[in-house]
Structure 1
Amino acid sequence: MTSPAGSAERGVYVSALDLFSIGIGPSSSHTVGPMRAGLAFRERLAAQGLLRSVTRFRFRLQGSLAATGIGHGTPDAVIAGLRGYAPETVDPVLVHGQWERLAAGEELRVDEVPLRAEDIVFAPLSRHEGHPNSMTLSAEVDGVVVAEETCLSIGGGFIELVGPDPAGGGRRDREDARAGHAVPAHRYRNAAELLRLASSRSIAEVAWEDETALHGEERAREGLAEIWSAMRGCIERGLRTEGVLPGGLGVSRRAAAGWRALAARGVPRGSEESLAIYALAVNEENAAGGRVVTAPTNGAAGVLPAVLYYAVAESGFPFERIRAFLLTATAIGSIFKANASISGAEAGCQAEVGSACAMAAAGLTAVRGGTPEQVENAAEIAIEHHLGLTCDPVGGLVQIPCIERNAVAASTALAASRLALLGDGSHVVHLDTTIETMRQTGADMSERYKETSAAGLAVNVVEC
C-alpha cells in the first residue's frame, strides 16, 4: 500500500478526526471514499473555472469498486459527490437509489448536466497500478474532455489522487488535506517505537499530544466529542429500529428485538450480553445506509463503538475515559494503516474487522488500567486470531457475514483485553510481527477473497 505523502517525515500517526470519520453506510471504501472523490473532483473543476461549462460527466469504476459497487452504493456515492454533497453532512436519503433510477432508463442531473447509465462504466477486472479500488472521473465540454483524474480508495474513506496534486506534491491523501499538512508531535513507525515513547506515560497521552499538534486542543476535544456522539447515536438508533435491510437478501434487523429481550430480563447496559447487541445495532444501521462512523472502516464499524459503549455505559459515559479509549485505538489503528492495510479489498476482512478488533481491545485495556505493554499485547492477541479472514460479502452487500462478524469480533476484543490484563505485558509474539504477518497474508490471498464477492460465502449462499 502506498504510504501517505510525507509519512516518512511525520511518522505513522493518523488523526482520530480522520481515522474515525463520520459518514454514511454501507462502505467506507466503496461509499464514503468515492463520494469524497466525486466532491473533490467537483471542487477542483470549480476552482479552475470549469464547473459551469461542463456538459457531460463520466466515471469508470475498476476492481472491487466495480465488482461490488452496486451493492455498496458506489455509483450513488460518486453522483452525490459530484452534486456537492459530503459524507459527513449529507442526508442519506439524498444518496441512495440513484443507480436504480439510471439503470431503469431514467435521466438524472448533476446541476444542469444530464447523467445517463452509459456514463458509468464498471470494469471489475481492471486495476490502476495493481490497486483493487480505483476510479477515473472525467468532465467534458461539448464532447471535449477538459478534466480527468484517477484516484484510489484506500480504505476507511481515505482517497489518494494519482499523479501530481494541484499543489504540486505527488500523491495526496485526505489526512494531509484535512490536517493542512500539519505534523504530529511524535514520529514513530511501529508499535515498538510507540512503546518507547509511552515508557513513562500512557499511549493515549502520546496520541493526545499528536492531536493537539495537528488541530489544537479545543478542536481536538470537540472532534473527539463529535465522534463519540455519532457512535452513540448510531448504536441507540439501531437499538430501536426494526425492519428488513435493503438489497434483496431479506435480512431482518435483530438488534432492537434482542435489546427488548435483554431489557425484559433486567440485563444492564454494561453487561456482556449487551455487547453483541450494540455491534449488531451499528452494522444494521450501516447496512441500511445510515449515519455511521468509520472505525476504521464501515464494514467493521460496529466493533469499536460496541466495546466502547459497553466499557463506559455503567459509569455514565465519562468523557475522559471515552477520550482515552479513542486515542489509544487511534494510535494502534494508525500503525495498522501505515504498515499493512485497513482495506478489505487489499487484504481481506482481517484488515477491516481484524484491525477494528485490535483497536477495540487496546482501547478497552487502556481504560481498565492496563500498561502500554498490556495494551500492545491485547491488540496483538486480537489481530492474531483474525489472520487469514476473508472478505466475501454475499450479494455484494455489507450484511452477510459482516453484521454478525462485528458482533463476534466485539466479544473477541473483550477476551483479548482480559487475557492481556492477566499478564504483565510480556509476550512472545509482538504486535509489529503480527501486523507484518497480516500484510503478507493479504498479499498472498487470492483476489477472489478480497471484497469481490467472487468466492467463499458469496458464491456458496443462494441469494433469495
Structure 2
Amino acid sequence: MESMRELFKVGFGPSSSHTMGPQRAALKIKEMYPEATRFHVDLHGSLALTGKGHLTDYIIEKTFAPKPVDFSFKSEELPEHPNGMIVHVFQGDQEMKQIEVYSIGGGSILFKGDLAQEPVQVYKQNTMKEILHYVDEHGISLYDYVLENEGDDFDHFLSDILGAMFESVENGLKKEGLIQGKLKLKRVAKSMFQQAQNTRREADRERLFISSYAYAVSEENADGGKIVTAPTCGASGIMPAVLYYCYKQLHIEKKDLIKALAIGGLFGNVVKTNGTISGADGGCQAEVGTACAMAAATMAWIYELNNSLIEYAAEMGLEHNLGLTCDPVGGYVQIPCIERNGYGSLRALDAAMLAKQLGYLRKNKVSFDTIVKVMKETGKDLSSDYKETSLGGLAKEFGLS
C-alpha cells in the first residue's frame, strides 16, 4: 500500500477527482513544458459530463494561466478510468506532446506512456487480514504498525491533517448565505449548530452536533473552500465531524485523536488499494461508504474496542453503503452530497456502537476485505449513469432550468 500521505491531502473543493486531480496534472505538465505557448485539453467521461459543475475547466485554465487553454468535452471514456483527459501541448502552431492522464480519486493522478510512474509502496501488507495478522504476531497496536511503516515523524503529519480538518469545521460553522452555483443552496451548518446548543434532549443534541460539523465541512467543500480529502472531497465531512465531536463533546485529547485518525486512515488505505475511492469508478459507495468505514473504525478505537471489533465497525460502515449511487444534481457537489455527509457521520457512530454492543455476543462472519471486494464488484456492475455523470437518478429527475 501507498503512504497515507497520498490519502489525506489538504486542498480546495469541490471535487478531489474533478478539481484537485486535474489541477495537479496541469501543474506538473506546466512545469515540464515551460516553453509551451498554449494548451488544448480533451476532457473525457465523467470529467466531461460533470466538469462544469465540478469546476474542472476552471481550475485547469487557472493553473495554466497566463498561457491560453481551450477545451473539448467528450462523453466517451478513455480506457484506464472514467476520469480521463488528454492534454495537447503546443509551441506556436506546433504540437509538442499529447499527454494522457487520469484522475483516479482522492486527488491522485496517473499518467500513461513515457510519463507513467509506479506508485511508491510503503506498506508490505495490502489487506486488513494481513495487517491484523501482522500486529497480532508482533504484539503491536495498529497505531504502532502505522508508525513502523510511515516513520516516527508521521504523527506530525497527522497533527497537521487534524488541524486542517478542525479548521474546515470551524470555518463552515461561521458562514451563512448561498453556496456558489445554479442550485442556490443555502448554508445551514451554523443554524444546525445553534439548534444543537438549544436542544434539551441529549441524544438529539449530540446527533445534531455531529451533523452540523459534517455539513460545515461539506458546505465549505461545495463552495470551493479548504478541506482534507478523507478519502475524497465529496466525502470530506464525515471524518472531521466524528473527530471534532470526540474533541468537543467527548473531550478526547488531540494526541489520542491523532492515533484515531491513523486507524481510520488505515482502513481507507485498504479500500484505496483493493477497491476504489472514486465516485466516477464505483459510485458514492466508494466515497461516502469508505469515509463511513474510516469514521466507524475511528470511533471504535475511541471506544477502546479491540482490533477485531474495530474491523467489525468499519465493515458495517462500508457494507451498509453498498450500491450507493453518485448522481450529483447539475454536476455540483451539493445535492445529495452535503446531506449524505451528515447521514454518513451518523451511520459511522451507529456502526461503532453496534460493534461495541454486538461484537461480544457473536463473532462477525463478514470480513472487511470481503466487503471491499464486494464494493468493487458492485461498482463495476453499476450503470455509468450512476457514477458521477449526472445522467441518472436524482440528477436526472431533479432537473435544472
TM-score normalised by structure 2 residue count: 0.94
Distance 1:325 1:256 in 2: 26
Q: Which residue of 1 aligns with 2:291?
A: 356
Matched residue, 1:226: 160
Which position in structure 2 is the counterpart of 1:254? 188
Equivalent in 228, 238, 251 of residue 293 of structure 1: 228
Query: Could you say which residue in structure 2 is the equivalent of 1:141?
Result: 91
Contact 2:296/2:348, CA 8 A, preserved across alignment:
yes
State how 1:310-325 maps to structure 2 within 5 Å.
310-314=245-249, 316=251, 318-325=253-260
1:205 paired with 2:144, answer yes
**In 2, are the aligned partners of 1:34 and 1:77 still within 8 Å (CA)?**
yes
What amino acid sits opposite 2:240 in the alignment? P
CA contact (8 A) 1:245 1:288 kept: yes
Q: Which moved more, 1:315-324 or 1:373-382?
A: 315-324
Gaps of 5+ in 1: 1-11, 46-50, 83-109, 166-170
Residue 262 of structure 1 and its aligned partner are, at CA, apart by 2.1
Distance of 2:110 and 2:80 partners within structure 1: 14
Task: State whether structure 2 residue 228 is matched by structure 1 residue 277.
Answer: no
Distance 1:223 1:297 in 2: 18
Q: Which amino acid aligns with 2:391?
A: A
Show CA shifts across 1:68-118 (max 9, x none).
Answer: 000000011212332xxxxxxxxxxxxxxxxxxxxxxxxxxx23x334xxx
1:41 matches 2:36: no
2: distance between equivalents of 1:133 and 1:114?
23
Deviation at 1:261, TM superposition (A): 2.2
Alignment correspondent of 1:429: 366
* 2:117 matched residue in structure 1: 172
Instruction: Give yes or no for contact 1:357–1:383 (8 Å, CA) kept in 2.
Output: yes
Report deviation, 1:201.
2.7
Task: Please report how far the alpha carbon of residue 312 of structure 1 lies from its aligned counterpart in structure 2 after TM superposition.
Answer: 2.2
Residue 353 of structure 2: aligned partner = 418
Q: 1:379 deviation in Å?
A: 0.6
**CA shift at 1:326, angstroms?**
1.3
Counterpart check, 1:18 vs 2:28 = no
What are the residue-to-residue correspondences of 1:99-114 with 2, within 5 Å? Answer: 110-111=65-66, 113-114=67-68
Matched to 1:407, the amino acid is: G
Query: C-alpha separation between the residues in 1 aligned to 2:96 and 2:245?
Result: 52
Once residues 142 and 285 of structure 1 are traced to their aligned partners in structure 2, the CA distance between those partners, rounded to angstroms, is: 40
Once the two structures are TM-superposed, the CA of residue 164 in structure 1 deviates from its matched residue by: 2.4
Q: Aligned partners of 1:249 and 1:43: how far apart in 2? A: 36
Partner of 2:111: 161
For 1:146, what is the secondary structure of its paired residue?
A: strand
Whole-angstrom distance in 2 between the partners of 1:418 and 1:164: 49
Contact conserved, 1:255 with 1:281, CA < 8 A, in 2? yes
1:64 to 41, 46, 50: 46
CA contact (8 A) 1:202 1:371 kept: no
What is the CA–CA distance in structure 2 between the aligned matches of 1:321 and 1:426, rounded to whole Å?
27
Please give the per-residue CA displacement for 1:400-448, whole angstroms capped at 9, x wherever unaligned. 0000011111010001001111213821111111111111100111001
Letter in 1 for 2:133: R
Instruction: Give CA-to-partner distance per residue, 1:254-306, whole Å, 9 cap, x none.
Output: 10111122223478999232011110111000010110110000110001110
Q: Deviations over 1:240-262 (max 9, x none)?
A: 10001111112101101111222
User: TM-score if structure 1 supplies the norm length?
Assistant: 0.82
Per the alignment, in what secondary structure is the counterpart of residue 277 of structure 1?
A: helix
2:177 match: 243
- Call closer, same or farther: CA 1:270–1:32 in 2, change over 3 Å: farther
Q: Distance in 1 between matches of 2:282 and 2:12?
A: 23
For structure 2, which runs of at least 5 residues remain unmatched after alignment?
A: none
What SS does structure 2 have at the residue aligned with 1:153? strand
Tell me if structure 1 keeps the 8 A contact 2:293–2:313.
Answer: yes
Give distance in 2, aligned partners of 1:206 and 1:81: 38
Residue in structure 1 matched with residue 20 of structure 2 by the alignment: 32
CA contact (8 A) 2:46 2:82 kept: yes
Contact 2:193 2:208 in 1 (8 A): no
By how many angstroms is 1:377 displaced?
0.5
Aligned counterparts of 2:185 and 2:381: Cα–Cα separation in 1: 32
Pair 427,315 (structure 1): closer, same or farther in 2 beyond 3 Å: closer
> C-alpha root-mean-square deviation of aligned residues, in Å?
1.8
Q: How many residues align?
A: 396
Q: Distance in 2 between matches of 1:172 and 1:354?
A: 29
Match of 2:58 in 1: 76
1:184-230 alpha-carbon deviations (Å, 9 max, x no partner): 3x411211111102212322221121211xxxx33x22211111111
Is this contact kept in 2: 1:312–1:321, CA < 8 A? no
Is the contact between residue 188 and residue 194 of structure 1 (CA under 8 Å) also seen in structure 2? Answer: yes
Q: Is the 8 A contact 1:198 1:372 kept in 2?
A: no
Rate the CA distance shift 1:421–1:455 in 2: closer, same or farther, 3 A.
same
| Alpha-carbon distance change, 281 to 443 in structure 1, aligned in 2, over 3 angstroms | same
Deviations 1:17-42 (A, max 9, x none): 22110000100000000000000111
In structure 2, C-alpha distance between the alignment counterparts of 1:317 and 1:172, rounded to whole Å: 41
Distance 1:376 1:296 in 2: 18
Q: Which amino acid aligns with 2:185?
A: V
Q: Is the 8 A contact 2:61 2:68 kept in 1?
A: no
1:303 partner amino acid? I
Structure 2 contact 46–388 (Cα < 8 Å) conserved: yes
The 8 Å contact of residues 50 and 390 in structure 2, kept in 1 or not, is answered as yes
For 1:120, the equivalent position in structure 2 comes to: 71
How far is 1:151 from its partner?
A: 0.7
